[in-house]
Amino acid sequence: MSVKDCIFCDIVAGKASAHVLYEDDLSLCILDIHPYTKGHCLVISKRHVPWWHELSEDENASLFKVARTMATRMMQKIEPDFVFLYARGRRIPHTHLFLIPTFSGDVLDRFFNALENFQESPAALVKLREPAAMAEAAEILKGD
């Protein structure tokens, strides 16, 4: 996807409408148009960069600072049990963080609990916790 076809770039440029909640020089927080729950937001980089780890250090710091500011605002104003954050960019290849307030027992809370139970239970995943497997993964990811 090119910059000219990117809805987030259009929002940043003011060519597309959005409910802008907060911004700084490098990042912008908007309401998601397909919310999972009331207050579901997206924090987007103002520069078109597909993956968050490709942002400059200043852009990355801004992205997470805006996310923290908005999560704090959510906790004060919506009073969820938790604000879930994850980075995405696959469907729209422009860095964005999802900020989703969740409440005990709601659909997302049940989903995340199921995911955690899955992570903790299968035998194949249990093997990943063994010292040799952990050491192997650490060695691969440490780099040169």
Residue matched to tokens 């995943």? 125
66, 96 Cβ separation under 8 angstroms: no
Looking at residue 59, its pLDDT comes to 96
Structure tokens at 49: 């960069």
Q: Does residue 27 sit in helix, strand or coil?
A: strand
Looking at residue 69, its pLDDT comes to 97
CA distance 106 to 25: 35
| Count of residues in the chain | 144
Q: Mind listing the domains of the chain with CATH numbers? A: 3-103 (3.30.428.10), 105-144 (no CATH)
Looking at residue 105, its pLDDT comes to 87
Name the stretches of the chain with pLDDT < 70. 1-3, 89, 144
Q: What is the pLDDT of residues 48-60, one digit of tens each?
A: 999 888 999 999 9
Rounded to 10 degrees, what is the CA torsion of 29, 76, 35, 10?
A: -10
Looking at residue 116, its pLDDT comes to 81
